[in-house]
Structure formats: structure tokens, C-alpha cells
Structure 1
Amino acid sequence: MKKNEENIDPEIIEEEFGPEAENKVKKLKDELKECRKNSAEFLAGWQRAKADLINSRKDEEKAGEDIVKYANSMLLYEMLNVLDSFEKALAEPGPEDGWKDGLRHIRNQLLQIMRGCGVRELEVEDEIFNPAEHESVAEEEVLDKDKDQIVLRVVQKGYKIHDKILRPAKVKIGKFQVKK
């Protein structure tokens, strides 16, 4: 259609429709050009709005999944203290009267429930200290430079739920110092 508009001879228009027709055609061409420009702007705006809506829906869906995935985090965090108490009781020296077997069984059930909810123990011993997963509670001088900033001992276990840290591990790390 655009080619046809450009191929119209102004003299033919004037002969057929009179001298004012050329001005009307020019005015109509300008209006058509403006309409096309507005149409393109509206289309581009609509396309951006549609893309924004799609992205917003995806973000909302992801947020909803995260809410479901981490809904039990606070409860599970509190259960870690109970698990710590079991660990301490089982580590106590003393005669085995069978009660420790009962505690081990309860602890294992608790661990099984937590694993079912996505909770995993952080394996941190002999790893490089990582402040995102570890909390340093003590340092110990080491003679080997390779042990500098390495987790030497776990003071309190750390846990993660799915891909987020539920509780960082409290650790003792090596600190290399040159002997003078």
C-alpha cells in the first residue's frame, strides 16, 4: 500500500479531483503516517507490558515455590537444639544402661524427619573456612601452612535446608604463624 501512495502523480490527482484534492491527499498521507507511528508505539508498549507480565508471573511463581520449600525452616531450626541435646547426652561417658540406645533411636528418627524436609548436615571438617557456612569460635596455632584457615574441629554442627544455610557450623580453625 505504501508503494501505491508514493506512485500517485500529483497532476493526475489535480486533473481528476480538482486543485484542493492534492492538499487533502497530502493531509491524509500525514495523518496515515502519524497513525502508523502511533500504532508502532502502542504495539511496542503492549509487547513490553506483556513481557513484564510474563516475568512478573514467573517471579511470583518462584516466590511461591520458595515459600513452600522453606515454610518449615523456623521449626526445623528450633529442632536443631533438641538434636544437639541428644548429641551431648550420647557423648557423655558412663555406663550403658540401654537408655542411650533409646536416645540414639529417638535421635535417628528426628534426623530422618529432618532429612525428609530437606535438612542436611554440613560436612565441614578439613575444609577451608567459609564464612557463609562456618562461624569461627576459636583459633588454634598450626605449624603447617597448609592448615591455615582450615576447619580443625566442629564445635557445633551446621545444617542447610535445600540450598540455604539453616545454621552455620561453629568451628575451630587453624591459624598459621611463623615461629620467631
Structure 2
Amino acid sequence: MASEDKPVETQEDIAAAEAAAETDQQAGADASDLAEQLVAAQQQAQDNREQYLRAEAEMANLRRRVEKDVENAHKFGQEKLVKEMLTVVDNLERTLAAIGEETDDVKPLKEGVEMTLKGLLDTFEKLNVVAVDPQGHPFDPQLHQAMSMVENPDMEPNTVIAVMQKGYTLHDRLVRPAMVMVSKGGGAGGQSIDETA
């Protein structure tokens, strides 16, 4: 009977060997699939990391941009109000200039106008509103608006000889240009200047 059992063992051995070979092939195929999956997962991880870094950089840029916008809103938020209040300052200054002889009747009025103007100018100073009064300085088209040019041999060409209306800046940003008269310089001896400036 031992001889009969031997072929059965051989068949079982063959079956086991085939199963082992099949398992080895399957394991080899699974290892190959796993290796491909690992490479794909690593590539996906790298892509996700790059997307994350880009998104993080965009968020940092957006945060900086929003902070700058908020800062500018705080700095220049009063610009419209300042423009409207400049008319009040101009009127108060004209009132003081128009008061001629200081009589007992006019003195309290003048003091009231001066105090009101001083209070308004102090508020402007707190808000970083600065007057542009270029009398005697060279003409700057970034800050001044030339209303006319007048020949004046005593002055350098392109010099502001009169200020018709002061200009103002808010945190170094021009709110209103100064309206000025500019010298042309003397006739034949004068330098040629750019009248379109």
C-alpha cells in the first residue's frame, strides 16, 4: 500500500508545488503591482505637496495684499472728507484775509474765525494732512497746477511767484494740487522753458 500512497503523495506534492509556483507568480505579480502603486502614490504625494506649497504661497500673498489694502484704507479712508473740508479751510482763510481794519466789533469775530481755523488745521495735522504752499519754489507738476505764466525778469524761470490756492497731501498722496502762477523769466536773456509742464 505504501506504493499506492506514493503516487498520491506525488500528486499532492505536484499540486502543492504548482500551488506554490502559482502563489510565487501571484506574489511576483502582486509585488510588481505594489511597486507600480507605490510609484504612483509617490508621484501623487509629490503633486499634492507642490499644490499645497503653491496654495500656501498664494495665501501668503493674499494675506499681504489684504493687510496692505487695510492699511491704505486706514490711511486714505478720510480722503473724501478731507477734500470736502478743504473748502471750509479756504473760506476761513479768505475771511481772515478780508477782515481789514480790526475794530472792537470785528475783533471777537476774527478771534472766533482764527480759533476755528486753528482747530481745523490741528485736526488736519493729526490726520497727516499737509499744506502745499510752494511760494518761491520751483514749479513741480506733480504737486502744482499752473494757472498762468507771467514774465518776471527778477525771478528764475519756472518759479512759483504766486499761490492762488494752497494744495494739500494726505500721507504724502496729493489730495489737491496747489494752483499757482509761474514765472516765465526775462525776455531775450531768459532761458527757454517748457510751458506745457
- Using structure 2 for the length normalisation, give the TM-score: 0.71
For structure 2, the residue ranges without an aligned partner over 5 or more in a row are 1-20, 190-197
After TM superposition, the structure 1 = structure 2 runs for residues 94-133 of structure 1, keeping only pairs within 5 Å, are: 94-97=100-103, 98=107, 99-133=109-143
Q: Distance in 1 between matches of 2:76 and 2:173?
A: 9
Q: Distance in 2 between matches of 1:177 and 1:74?
A: 41
For structure 1, the residue ranges without an aligned partner over 5 or more in a row are 1-14
After TM superposition, the structure 1 = structure 2 runs for residues 27-66 of structure 1, keeping only pairs within 5 Å, are: 27-66=33-72
User: Could you say if the C-alpha distance between residues 32 and 147 of structure 1 is closer, same or farther in structure 2, counting changes exceeding 3 Å?
Assistant: farther
Does residue 88 (structure 1) correspond to residue 94 (structure 2)? The answer is yes
After TM superposition, the structure 1 = structure 2 runs for residues 5-16 of structure 1, keeping only pairs within 5 Å, are: none
1:169 alignment partner in structure 2: 178
User: Could you say if the C-alpha distance between residues 42 and 176 of structure 1 is closer, same or farther in structure 2, counting changes exceeding 3 Å?
Assistant: farther
Deviation above 6 Å: which 4+ runs of structure 1? none
Structure 1 counterpart of 2:166, from 153, 157, 171: 157
Please tell me the residue identity of whatever aligns with 2:120: L
Would you say how many aligned residue pairs link Structure 1 and Structure 2? Answer: 164
User: Could you say if the C-alpha distance between residues 127 and 30 of structure 1 is closer, same or farther in structure 2, counting changes exceeding 3 Å?
Assistant: farther
Residues 82-139 of structure 1, C-alpha deviations (whole Å, 9 max, x = no match): 1111212222362112132332222111111221222111242343333221111111
Deviation at 1:23, TM superposition (A): 4.3
Q: Percent identity?
A: 28
Structure 2 counterpart of 1:69, from 75, 80, 86: 75
Deviation at 1:142, TM superposition (A): 4.4
Q: Distance in 2 between matches of 1:36 and 1:177?
A: 81
- Using structure 1 for the length normalisation, give the TM-score: 0.77
Cα RMSD (Å) of the superposition?
Answer: 2.6
